[in-house]
Amino acid sequence: MIPPQEASARRREIEDKLKQEEETLSFIRDNLEKSDQLTKNMVSILSSFESRLMKLENSIIPVHKQTENLQRLQENVEKTLSCLDHVISYYHVASDTEKIIREGPTGRLEEYLGSMAKIQKAVEYFQDNSPDSPELNKVKLLFERGKESLESEFRSLMTRHSKVVSPVLILDLISGDDELEVQEEVVLEHLPESALQDVVRISHWLVEYGRNHDFMNVYYQIRSSQLDRSIKGLKEHFRKSSSSSGVPYSPAIPNKRKDTPTKKPVKRPGTIRKAQNLLKQYSQHGLDGKKGGSNLIPLEGRDDMLDVETDAYIHCVSAFVKLAQSEYQLLTDIIPEHHQKKTFDSLIQDALDGLMLEGENIVSAARKAIIRHDFSTVLTVFPILRHLKQTKPEFDQVLQGTAASTKNKLPGLITSMETIGAKALEDFADNIKNDPDKEYNMPKDGTVHELTSNAILFLQQLLDFQETAGAMLASQETSSSATSYNSEFSKRLLSTYICKVLGNLQLNLLSKSKVYEDPALSAIFLHNNYNYILKSLEKSELIQLVAVTQKTAERSYREHIEQQIQTYQRSWLKVTDYITEKNLPVFQSGVKLRDKERQMIKERFKGFNDGLEELCKIQKAWAVPDTEQRDRIRQIQKKIVKETYGAFLQRYNNVPFTKNPEKYVKYQVDQVGDMIDRLFDTSA
């Protein structure tokens, strides 16, 4: 049960809270009433503002539409006036540009092209809007006249500024200057920069607006002429240089200063001169002999002009490649891309045809030379063919995109040269085998036959052109091995060919040696030729090439040489047989000789003396050009004769077989040796 006091306090507390809540409720009611009043006032204001905005909009929109219409009308008027001005300007184009067109584009190309652009637009306008108007004909005529002037200007610029490339510059271009520490690239300037820019601008205009490709024909005709003349100028340069100084040259251009040229030799291809120099070296060592004749034209008598023509042609081929590359670079700036290959094809035709024609002339000359057995002329094909094959990759690259007939010209020439070269090799081997044995052509002293020296000289020449000669031989092969042609196969073919020539030569020499009535002279002749062949093979790389297919060739030649020396030595038997011990009469010491015995001894002395004198007289006129071999043959024979004669003298030195011993003992042993030492020496 709650005490009365606590209940009273609780009631008062509740009453106080109730009173506070009533006061709060009364405050809220007052605020709500104020808020409702404010809301009503705001709604009234907004309704009034909306009404006013509607009235303003209804007043402004008609004004805005009127203003917009006025602006559109103004723009239409301005556009109409502009179009009228534009149209009117077309009617004045002819009169405004006629003077400029009449005077031409020279010296003011940009202004001229600007006038042509105005005329072009006028033509297009009248064609679209007034095709029957006289103004159209007027501007058309003016446009055609302007186009013709631009074509004439293009031709004039190309003609005036296209210059022939000098031989000096071409030689520097194809050979460079190896002596300079820093080699700078040689750049050809076919057209001055200003002229080139004008030509490019005109060509682009003619393609885009002129609808005319005739200028491309003008371009290739002018540039073709310059290219052809440049190559012909280089060829003429070789001729003049060789006639004046004997050696064509290319000036070196230090630091690219072309005002201070100095002479420098051109790198010349391997020609017959190398083999000739070898032959001269052999001659100095006593190996040469030219008294024997042959139906082969002597190689060492070859005209130097052949070398000049060969060098000139080789350099012209290289020049064509470099100049054609340069021409294509120039062409790409001037000729539209889809016309570049065709124009380039036409541009190079004259120069290329000239080179191919000259190459075919070389083939034709070689063919005629083969008929008359002039194989020295045929040798010109070798360096040319080698150079053509070396240059072919560059040729093919330059001729990319040209017609098939253009691309096939060089391969066709290479095939012709390989065929004629193979024919020359075959005919040369046959001529070596079949060279006739003419008595009046044989060397009287048994020296080296001209056929031998020519054959060796020809084979030595092939050393410089091993791959080329091998390719010639391979081109005639029909076996399956020829299809897998490589350098080793080439070397074997060439080795086989050289061995064939040497075999033919040996057979012919054996046949020729039978022309001599004296077997000893025949032996000396074969000895000299075999020795010359062997020494020539050893002094060049021919011996290594021969060894590819014949390992014992060197030993075989040495055996042949020894056999001929032995054959020669038998010629002395008729001298020594008189005094050999087996043929001497037998007698007893202290017993007086009978007349028959004395007569026999006298006959022995007389036979020896007469035989010695006869052989020395005859063999003194014979020749053994190789000093080493000559001394060796003398020493061997001198030893045999002196020993035999010494024993003979000693045997009869104190035998009284005659009252006049000086009549029979004409020579002492040393005198006999001196006589033999003078063999093979016409000056003795």
User: Which parts of the chain sit beneath pLDDT 50?
Assistant: 177-182, 246-286, 288-291, 297-303, 480-484
d(CA 567, CA 82): 120
Nearest CA among 558, 577, 548, 683 for reference residue 640: 577
CA within 13 Å, CB half, 486: 3
Q: What is the reported pLDDT for 402?
A: 92
Q: What is the reported pLDDT for 84?
A: 54
Q: Are 470 and 489 in contact (CB under 8 A)?
A: yes
d(CA 534, CA 544): 12
Helix (H, G, I), strand (E, B) or coil at 684: coil
Per residue, the 3-state secondary structure of 514-577, as one string, reads CCCCCHHHHHHHHHHHHHHHHHHHHHCCHHHHHHCCCCCHHHHHHHHHHHHHHHHHHHHHHHHC
Q: Are 404 and 334 in contact (CB under 8 A)?
A: no
Q: What is the reported pLDDT for 601?
A: 86
For 269-307, letters b (16+ CB in 10 Å) and e give bebbeebbebbeebbeebbbbbebbbebeebbebeeebb
Helix (H, G, I), strand (E, B) or coil at 249: strand
Q: How many residues does the chain have?
A: 684
Q: What is the reported pLDDT for 17?
A: 87
Nearest CA among 632, 642, 636 for reference residue 612: 642
Q: What is the reported pLDDT for 537?
A: 94
d(CA 174, CA 166): 13
Q: What is the reported pLDDT for 414?
A: 94
d(CA 149, CA 181): 50
Tell me how many helices (H) and strands (E) the chain has. Answer: 25, 0
State the CB neighbour count (10 A cutoff) for residue 249. 19
Per residue, the 3-state secondary structure of 591-643, as one string, reads CCCCHHHHHHHHHHHHHHHHHHHHHHHHHHCCCCCCHHHHHHHHHHHHHHHHH
Q: Are 331 and 343 in contact (CB under 8 A)?
A: yes
The residue whose two tokens read 């909306």 is 50
Q: Is the pTM above the cut of 0.85?
A: no
d(CA 508, CA 434): 7
Q: What is the reported pLDDT for 362?
A: 93
